[in-house]
Structure 1
Amino acid sequence: MAFQIMTMTDAAADRVKAIVENSGPDAKGVRVGIKKGGCAGMEYTVDLVKEPDARDDMVTHGGASVWIDPAATLYLLGTQMDFEVTKFRSGFVFSNPNQTSACGCGESVELQAADLAELARQKQAAEA
């Protein structure tokens, strides 16, 4: 069994479905990636998917589809995507074990690539 790159909470799946429903008949889901930017060095990206890229991995949960940019895979392994609404903002949030720090405003993060050998050891231990 392969590693699941990312998981979604019910709240994230509900928000993805709402985005798709409000974006017209061509919308299929969203695509998550990372880009250089912000004061901590990297930012998560979430874009509407109308035409899926065959190179992307896909995660589904509760009827929602999220594609993952292959350039972001090593940085997103083990990440949980959530959606939260607070008094001051609403948006997707990512609980990422590969995050080493974040800026004070929370808009950018510092990420390191996942340790594949450690993930393999954890998977073997769980299966034993």
Structure 2
Amino acid sequence: MAITLTPAAANRIRSYQADSPGTLGLRFGVRKSGCTGFAYVIDMASEAGPDDHVFESAGVKVFVDADSLPQVDGTEIDFASQGLNQQFVFRNPNVEDACGCGESFSTRA
């Protein structure tokens, strides 16, 4: 499988890259958090790690560490704007359960 970006997400990441010269793309993964298990982590990637899997979608590279990949493989990342609120939205086919506040999730992996 892979990590994919919608055109809106790719455009937003490109704007972050324009503001941060030298970045390679998006770093996407998870960390242990909350009552359900994991929370998403996103940042701009300044270098590739030795265990990174690199996906390219809509002309943007997405770096995922090997430990995070089982929880996020197949995820589509979107970027949504509603009024003053803007955020990345994750459509992850691996999610089995999420906490009520949306802070954390668990997967089948």
TM > 0.5 between the two? yes
Letter in structure 1 aligned against 2:2:
I
> What's the offset of the Cα at 1:5?
2.3
Contact 2:3 2:62 in 1 (8 A): no
Q: 1:63 to 1:5 in 2, by over 3 A?
A: closer
Who is 2:37 aligned against? 41
- The runs of at least 4 aligned residues of structure 1 exceeding 6 Å deviation read none
TM-score by length of 1: 0.76
Greater helix share, 1 or 2? 1
Amino-acid identity (%): 37
Who is 1:50 aligned against? 46
What is the root-mean-square deviation in Å for CA atoms of aligned residues?
1.5
Contact 1:17 1:63 in 2 (8 A): no
Supply the distance in 2 between the matched residues of 1:47 and 1:69 (Cα, whole angstroms). Answer: 13
Gaps of 5+ in 2: none
Contact 2:3 2:57 in 1 (8 A): no
1:92-111 to 2 correspondence within 5 Å?
92-111=88-107
Greater strand share, 1 or 2? 2
Who is 1:26 aligned against? 22
Who is 2:4 aligned against? 7
Aligned pairs, how many? Answer: 109
Q: Secondary structure at the match of 1:26?
A: coil
Letter in structure 2 aligned against 1:20:
Q
Supply the distance in 1 between the matched residues of 2:85 and 2:108 (Cα, whole angstroms). Answer: 27
Gaps of 5+ in 1: 114-128
Supply the distance in 2 between the matched residues of 1:75 and 1:93 (Cα, whole angstroms). Answer: 16
Supply the distance in 1 between the matched residues of 2:79 and 2:55 (Cα, whole angstroms). Answer: 16
> What's the offset of the Cα at 1:88?
5.6
Who is 1:70 aligned against? 66
Supply the distance in 2 between the matched residues of 1:67 and 1:19 (Cα, whole angstroms). Answer: 15
Select the structure of larger CA radius of gyration.
1
Supply the distance in 1 between the matched residues of 2:56 and 2:50 (Cα, whole angstroms). Answer: 16
Which protein, 1 or 2, shows the higher relative CO under an 8 Å CA cutoff with sep ≥ 6?
2
TM-score by length of 2: 0.88
Letter in structure 1 aligned against 2:3:
M
